[in-house]
Every structure is written in structure tokens, then in C-alpha cells.
Amino acid sequence: MLDKNIDHVIVGSSYLSYFLGLKSLGANKSTLIVDDKRFQFGELFQGKFTELDRSFIKKLGELNSIQAFIDIDQYIEPAPYFIHVNGAIVRLGDSPLRNFKEVGRKLHGGIKNKSKEIESDIYSNILDEVGPEKFNNLFETFCRDMAVTTLGLPSTKHFDLSTFFKCAPPFLITLFDTISKSYSDQDCPIGETWSMRCLLYSLRGVFQDDFSFSLSKFELFHLVVSFLSPSYQLNFQALDQALSIEFAAKGGQLRQVELDSWLFDKNRPWALMLSSFEGVVCPGDVSFIGPIPESMPIEISPVGDYYKAVEYTWDCIGENTLLPSEGTTFFCCSDAIGTETPFFWCKVKGNQVVISAYLLRCEGRKFDFYVDRLREYLLKEINRTHSITPKDIKNESVRELRDIALSGVSAGGAFEQVSSSKVQVLDNTNISNKVLVGGVSYWGQFRKFPLGKYSMLLDLCLS
């Protein structure tokens, strides 16, 4: 039987929600997680993991006695991926050394070490200095040190570029400085740096949930770490299941229901109406952890422009698509940057192609209005490098995903200290009079966390 008086109600079910729930139980608060299926993170956000994420989750588990986090390696598997950047096909997600060499071979023009009139090979210099046998170990040590250091900070306001510098080996700082100078060199011919800029733009969409060329050095360092990092695919459904068992064992309550409505007393939630026979709970505090609430009695403000993912599943005739049969392939063309469809990705499973694209969300735009036009665009773009035509598609299904990315957001410039932005939670049950509510917290992409999931997890830890 569900308790009617709950100290902390968390809406949204994910490993982030379960961490906050376990943290709340550790503070002796009665805690309920409402698994409302309308408020879930997308698969790209939850599933894509770097070594930095892996080390952080593992250390978080050790510090908080969360066994599923300690055993994170049971829930991930290697997941290399490809990025098409202006004709170059870059394979990433392997070992740090292999990723480093791959970027050096494919995008060498975007990373040059210039000293007066002398141009040196930064890749050869780093490998000569570090030695191939030490490269991977130094990177893994850096990721472990980052987990320990960031979890020891008093607040996220103390997490900035100097935190990275404190933990990074010299070769990583050298590589970052070189890319940073090249990236910000306005006089550099566009051909020399454009491919690297496109790569970083793509990675920002994947790992920082944002599409913008304007970024701080803090964010840029994170992107350099991301393209060097091994990539993993997280089985987040299995991880959530393991965490739900730990959560229940420690006294937490979980209900797979929808939040129908709420009542307020002095602009604070007084009662939550659940779509179940258990009906009403009276919360102390309420936390929402997810992307954008849709068809729910709350609204996040400000929202601003954002992209939402759309997925096409094509059953093709014959295996003639010529797309890679392993991992995910991301596509970013320079002439698509800044448009309403800047980025798309696909997976191939036998004769089936699953292709997803971020589309700029416009007020009043209905799903059916853009399905045909977006399909035509994706077929045209993918045929720049691969063979797939409308005649190859036997059956098609289309759906909107829960993955979102922000449009043109910069969290800060130069060596600024960078933290998430503030948002307000509104009660929208009365459309003509939306009221700001207190006692309610929100964690999701619209908080504009500068390092995406990593910053969001740290904020949950230190809040």
C-alpha cells in the first residue's frame, strides 16, 4: 500500500532518478519514484557512454554503496561509432591511442602546431613524448582522477577548466591547446579547420545535447576527451532494473503511473493526483528528472529553440545499402550546420536501416507535416556517400523519439567558470494563468548542463 505522505516524490524513471532516490533515502526521507512514461530520457542520451562517464558512475557507486553502479561494467559493452565529416569517414570509440591516430590521419588539417613559420606534426610529437604503450593508461588514469576530483568538489560552481588541467596528463593539455588555438583562429583558411569544427559540432550534439559553434574552453576540453575516449553502449533498461531492486530494498517506493494533476497550497505542491486506484499523495518536495514534459500538468520556462529526434525504420530489399554493419554512423555536413536538420545518425541490422535525425522544433508544427519532406532530405544526404534509394525501401515506420538537443546555446566563453542555467517550473493546468511553483526541482536538458550527462550527474550528486 502506498504511503499518502511522502517526503520526496521523483517524477521520471532512469538511473539518474534512482540515484537521486537512493540519495534521498540515505537522508532518511520517504521517497516515491513515479515512472511516468511520458517523461523519459531518449536512448541516445541514456545509452551513449564515454570512459569519463564510466569512471564517474563507478566511483559514485563506491562512495554511496550503490552496487549496480559499482558493477557498471556488467551493463555496458564496447560501441565504436563512425562520423561522416565532409567526405571523411572517422571511426571513433576504440582505444584512446587508436582514436588519436584516426583523427590524426583523417582530420590532420584541423590540428596544427604553429610556431612562427615552423609547422610541426603534433601527433608525432605527442607519441614520441608519451610512447604508445603509455598513452591508454594515462588516459584511463585521467578519467579515474576526474571522478575522484569532481565528486570531492563543494559544488558544481567549482567545476571549471582548471579542474580538467589539474587531472590531465601533459599530452592531453598540449593537444587541447593546439585544437583550441586552431578552433579560435579566425584568420586560418576555412579548409584547414572546417572538418575538425564539424567533428566537434557533431560530438557536441551527442555528448553535450547542444548544436553550436560557440563554446567555452571548458566545453571544448570535454569534447577533446570525448573523441579520444572508448565508447560504450549502456543497457540502461537492465541497469534501471537492478537499481529499482536496490531502491525497494532500502525502503523506496516505485509506481508505474501517470501524474494526472496536482493541487497547491501557497504555490507549493500539496497533493499529486496519480492515475491509479491509489489516487493522491501529499509530497514534501517534488523533483522532475527527464527531457521536456509533454501532456503533463507542468511547464519548464524558459525553453527556447530546441531540436527533437525523429526515427525512420526502413526494411530494405537486399543488403545493398553499403552502410557499416557495426555501431552507429553519425552524419554531419558543413552545409547542414545551422539548418533545421543539422545532424542525423543510423544503424544497420541485416536488411533493416534505422535512421534518426534532429529536427528543429517549431511551434504549431505537426508530426505529419514534415515526415515526407524529412525522408526526402535524409535519402538525398545519405546518398552522398552510400547507396540507398526509395526503391530499396520495402516497409517504413516513423516515430518521434525523446532525445532532444538545444539550439545555439553557449554556456560561457574563454576560461569562464561554467555551470547549468536556472529554469522555472510552472503549473499549466490553467492555461490562461500559469503559476510559478515552489518546492519543485528539475533536472533535464533545458537546464543547459554544459557537459551534458556528466554535468547533470554531478549536479545531482552535489545539490
The 10s digit of each residue's pLDDT in 44-53 is 899 999 999 9
What one-letter code names the amino acid at 2? L
Q: Where do the H-state alpha helices sit in 281-439?
A: 367-382
What CA–CA distance (Å, rounded) separates 27 from 6? 13
- Residue 283 domain flag: yes
Question: Looking at per-residue confidence, does 361 or 368 come out higher?
Answer: 361
Do 191 and 154 fall within a single domain? yes
Residue 212 lies in a domain: yes
Which of 199, 229, 259 is where one domain is finished? 229
Asked if residue 284 is part of any domain, the answer here is yes
Could you tell me the residue range of the domain that residue 381 belongs to? 306-407
Local structure of 252: helix, strand or coil: coil
User: What residue has cell string 530499396?
Assistant: 392
On whether both 433 and 292 belong to a single domain, the answer is: yes
Same domain, 245 and 388: no
Domain-located, residue 197? yes
**pLDDT band with cut points at 50, 70 and 90 for residue 418:** low
**Co-location of 310 and 400 in the same domain:** yes
Q: Is 30 exposed, middle or buried (0-12, 13-18, 19+ CB in 10 A)?
A: middle
CA distance 419 to 155: 10
pLDDT at 118: 33
414 is a domain residue? no
Output the pLDDT for position 6: 95
Determine, yes or no, domain membership for 222.
Answer: yes
> Is 329 domain-assigned?
yes
Domain boundary among 175, 201, 229: 229
pLDDT digits (tens, 9 = 90+) for 134-187: 999 999 999 999 999 999 999 999 999 999 999 999 999 999 998 888 776 554
Q: What is the pLDDT of residue 411?
A: 40
Q: What is the DSSP letter of 451?
A: T
297 and 373 in one domain? no
Number of domains composing the chain: 3
Instruction: Give yes or no for residue 113 having a pLDDT over 50.
Output: no
Residues 217 and 169 in one domain: yes
Element (H, E) at 60: helix 51-64
pLDDT tops 90 at residue 63: yes
Nearest partner of 198 among 185, 183, 188, judged by Cα? 183
Alpha-carbon span 293 to 299, nearest angstrom: 7
As a dihedral over the C-alpha atoms of residue 146, residue 442, residue 414, residue 97, rounded to 10 degrees, the angle is 40
From 14, 44, 41, 20, select the one nearest 293 (Cα to Cα).
41
> How many Cβ atoms from other residues are within 10 Å of residue 148's Cβ?
14
Question: pLDDT-derived band of residue 322, with 50, 70 and 90 as boundaries?
Answer: low
Distance CA 396, CA 398 (A): 7
Identify whether residues 291 and 331 lie together within a single domain.
no
Kindly state whether residues 337 and 349 are assigned to the same domain: yes
Residue 425 bridge partners (DSSP): 300
Statement to judge: residues 136 and 219 lie in one domain: yes
One-letter amino acid identity for 261? S
| CB neighbours of residue 230 within 10 Å | 23
Do 288 and 316 reside in the same domain of the chain?
A: no
Whether residue 257 is found in the same domain as residue 333: no
Domain end point (choices 181, 199, 229):
229
Radius of gyration of the chain (CA): 23
337 found inside a domain: yes
* 68 lies in the same domain as 139: no
Question: What distance in Å separates the CA atoms of residue 228 and residue 96, rounded to the nearest whole number?
Answer: 5
